[in-house]
Amino acid sequence: MAHLFSLLPQLLLPWYRQHRRDLPWRKDKEPYHVWLSEIMLQQTRVEAVKGYYTRFLERLPTIADLAQADEETLYKLWEGLGYYSRVRNLHKAAVQIMERHGGTFPQDPKDIRALSGIGDYTAGAVGSICFDLPTPAVDGNVLRVCSRLTSDPSPIDQPAVKKALTEELAAIYPKESGDFTQALMELGATVCVPNGAPLCHQCPLNNICLAHKEDKETQFPVKAKKKPRVIQEMTVLLLHDGDIFALRKRPKTGLLAGLWEFPHLDGKYSIAQILEYLEQQGITVSDVEKTIEKVHIFTHKEWHMTGVFLSCQKGGPYTWSVPSDYALPTAFRIFLES
């Protein structure tokens, strides 16, 4: 295995320089830009991130601007990207950089890792790409490439497997650490792909890849069985007076913390039960318009939602506004598309 890994720099670096994608966060090695892109790219497609990345930097071009941004600005810039804890941690880390490092992104791997929301992968990516440190950034792409390369049946979602691979890669990192990190990422994203058969005829590692030699590419990587998602039923109340809707803010902790939402009830309620509840809230309903079923999937949970559109007069314990003025998570915005 060590011998296979030792061949990676000489095979991947020339390939990467010829085939790498032209992505906005590869224009420079500014740590803020690389850090922001890596956080945005977590569990999000590259094409989806491009526009958000550009808009975010236009509005908050420096770490100091990010540190000073208010919560509503951050949520609006992030609206639709999901996993909102990412932007909350970005803000916390920016404040830490201002307070601990005088506004300059730290170069020491331990200092980078100590920032809010930065795990081993992001610390490795920033350290290698921005400062050419031998700090591997091991994500799903890299785990997939290496498990196929070595025909390794170890479950890649076990922390010990990831830790061992990180150590093995660190031992063979070349001086062009940034390019090597991105070459591994690029190979997994564009050639040694996760869905369907990998594009082995385009791969610079096909002559040394054990899974390819054994014709077992699609058998790797191996993952442990996941627990089934928890299903939660809810009734979403789309109360509106013309274009103005009833909104409320979610609690500051928990799922989608601090974001805005349409009022809802846990469980599935009949129209009669909904009208009785709204009467208790001081809401006068003039028309029950339509009912729409939606499902929104989180990592470990599914919301099975019944959305009920009701025309009514403004009132009750809600904020009434045009929904586009607030950062609504996708779980609730999907009803407006109807």
Active site residues: 38
- List the structure tokens of 279: 């009467």
Residue with tokens 């076990």: 158
Q: Which long-range contacts (CB under 8 A, 24 or more apart) does 81-84 make?
A: 81/40, 81/44, 81/48, 81/49, 81/52, 82/43, 82/44, 82/329, 82/330, 83/42, 83/43, 83/44, 84/256, 84/257, 84/258, 84/259, 84/329
Q: Strand 244-249 relative to strand 319-321: parallel, antiparallel, unpaired?
A: antiparallel
Whether residue 221 has a cis bond before it, omega within 30° of 0? yes
Q: Which residues of 316-328 are buried (b: 16+ CB within 10 A; e: fewer)?
A: bebeeeebeebbb
User: What is the C-alpha to C-alpha distance for residues 129 and 31, in angstroms, rounded to an integer?
Assistant: 8
User: What is the C-alpha to C-alpha distance for residues 200 and 43, in angstroms, rounded to an integer?
Assistant: 25
Please state, as a whole number, how many other Cβ atoms lie within 10 Å of the Cβ of residue 66.
Answer: 25
How far is the CA of 118 from the CAs of 225, 283, 297, in angstroms?
A: 27, 45, 25
Helix (H) or strand (E) holding 245: strand 244-249
The dihedral formed by the CA atoms of 74, 79, 83 and 89, expressed in degrees to the nearest 10: -10
Closest CA to 227 of 301, 122, 152: 301
Residue 294 near residue 224, CB atoms below 8 Å: no
